[in-house]
Amino acid sequence: MTEFTAATVYDLPPADLVLGDRVAGRMYTDPAIFDQERTKIFERSWIWVAHESELPKAGSFKSTHVGRHPVIVTKDRKGEIRTLVNRCRHRGASLCEKKTGHANGFTCPYHAWSYGLDGKLRGIPYPDGYEGVMDKADLGLKTLRTESYGGMIFATVDADAEPLADFLGDVKLWIDRFMAQGGGYPVKVLGTHRFTYRGNWKIQLENTTDGYHFPIVHRSWMASVDAETAEMMSFMTDPTAVTHDLGNGHSVMQMVPEHSDLEADDGSEPLQPRFDGLVAQLEAAGADEAEIRRLVRAVHGTGFNLNLFPNVSMSISFFRVLRPISVDETVIEHVALGSDGPAEIVGPVNRERLRAHEHFQGPFGFGTPDDSEGWDRVQRGAQGAPELPIMVNRGLGREKPSAEGWPTSHVTDETGMRAAYAQWKRMMSDD
């Protein structure tokens, strides 16, 4: 084990900056490490790019990024989902600047080279200059490997990456449980809130598996909700609230264990009186008692945060997606989720979910501004005393295997962070 000192911390290779119980603050501040991360992590991992509900029909698209690569995720005419590098094969201009939409294909605004939804080059203006020079079949858009599980679409730059199913491993069980919050209907994206903070991406990666901060940073949110909701989120001394290391840098933090599997309902838990109005609306719409119970119990989402290394968490009732911009700048997207079903049923449910989303995650909510202040402060503080490590040792002494064999500790412990940094160390060690 190599200890950090002020004399050595800037000379050690990145992989030596992660120890079992601490990491070096230089990992938040060194531009050279950030450049390596983009290649070794964001261009070799499976990166979450979209949810299938964002591509409802042929021609639907979403523009986003995989590492440094701007990409367009499309559903082609045969229903196949593809991830196309957003770069014209002629002179490199971006083809699409819209975040989402519907198109028959993509045409470069510079010289009008046009491409199909499958990325094939379809047309070139004034083609006579290219006779005998090139074959259009060789100049389709670069396409990334794209696979999905449970409606979650991932892409990777690495053609030799392991299959997505293997990368997810035991995460698949938790994705299945997360999607049960549709209450018997598919889950769909309702909208996205996007913002930037002045800090390194790993600070946010830690946050979604950090139960320790919740009652401290989010005191104002706890004071703003009804007593039953506050009680539900009072997990600090609940021994059944735990965090599991699921492998490959993934982890799950169970804050409300009784809501981890929404399909497991013995009927003993009363619905909260605050939802009486929603129940009345669903009864008027013709929903039966069992359906009302499934939908209302799922309004708050599942009782866990599922952290998928490196760029997305499935956090109770929404997705939190991170995109590193520079060593000290990160874009976050909060993606609100709801049920996709008959409007008279899911309409009132989704309105209730959106109000809850706005209350915590929205730009005027109680939760996100408080988190953002913490992330900014970590970045500023990490500039000082570089020999002092960032501690991720909480709960190390009480971490034990679960019945499934997952390293497990209390929900306030830093098991999820250690899992993510172990994966970071492995990937940054690869040449």
Distance between CA atoms of residues 406 and 37, nearest Å = 27
Tell me the pLDDT tens digit for each residue of 152-163. 999 999 999 999
Would you say residue 310 has pLDDT above 90?
yes
Residue range(s) defining the domain that contains residue 395: 169-428
Do 220 and 262 belong together in one domain? yes
Q: What is the rounded average pLDDT of the residues 157-179?
A: 98
Q: What pLDDT shows up at residue 2? A: 64
What's 334's domain CATH number?
3.90.380.10
Distance between CA atoms of residues 353 and 298, nearest Å = 9
What's 138's domain CATH number?
2.102.10.10
Q: Which of 162, 58, 69 has its CA nearest to residue 117?
A: 58
Do 175 and 230 belong together in one domain? yes
Do 240 and 104 belong together in one domain? no
Q: What is the rounded average pLDDT of the residues 351-355?
A: 95
Per the domain annotation, does 387 fall within a domain? yes
Do 390 and 347 belong together in one domain? yes
Question: Hey, how many other C-beta atoms are within 10 angstroms of the C-beta on 289?
Answer: 11
Per the domain annotation, does 361 fall within a domain? yes
Average pLDDT of the chain, as a whole number: 95
Tell me the pLDDT tens digit for each residue of 124-152. 999 999 999 999 999 999 999 999 999 99
Per the domain annotation, does 163 fall within a domain? no
Do 175 and 149 belong together in one domain? no
Strand order from edge to edge, sheet including 121-123: 105-107, 114-116, 121-123
Per the domain annotation, does 13 fall within a domain? no
Do 175 and 151 belong together in one domain? no
Boundary residue ending a domain (156, 188, 223): 156
Q: Which of 327, 299, 333, 331 has its CA nearest to residue 313?
A: 333
Per the domain annotation, does 213 fall within a domain? yes
pTM of the model: 0.95
Do 150 and 181 belong together in one domain? no
Burial of 307 (0-12, 13-18, 19+ CB in 10 A): buried
Q: What pLDDT shows up at residue 327? A: 97
Give the total number of structural domains in the chain.
Answer: 2
Would you say residue 74 has pLDDT above 70?
yes
The pair of structure tokens assigned to 196 is 């930037």
The pair of structure tokens assigned to 154 is 């991932």
Dihedral angle over CA of 30, 32, 37, 40, nearest 10: -150
Would you say residue 408 has pLDDT above 60?
yes
pLDDT confidence band for 62 (50 / 70 / 90):
very high
Q: Rounded to 5 degrees, what angle do the CA atoms 153, 156, 157 make?
A: 150
SS (H, E, C) 57-118: CCCEEEEEEECCEEEEEEECCCCCEEEEECCCCCCCCCCCCCCEEECCEEECCCCCCEEECC
Would you say residue 256 has pLDDT above 80?
yes
Q: What is the rounded average pLDDT of the residues 170-182?
A: 98
250-254 and 242-247 beta bridge pairing: antiparallel
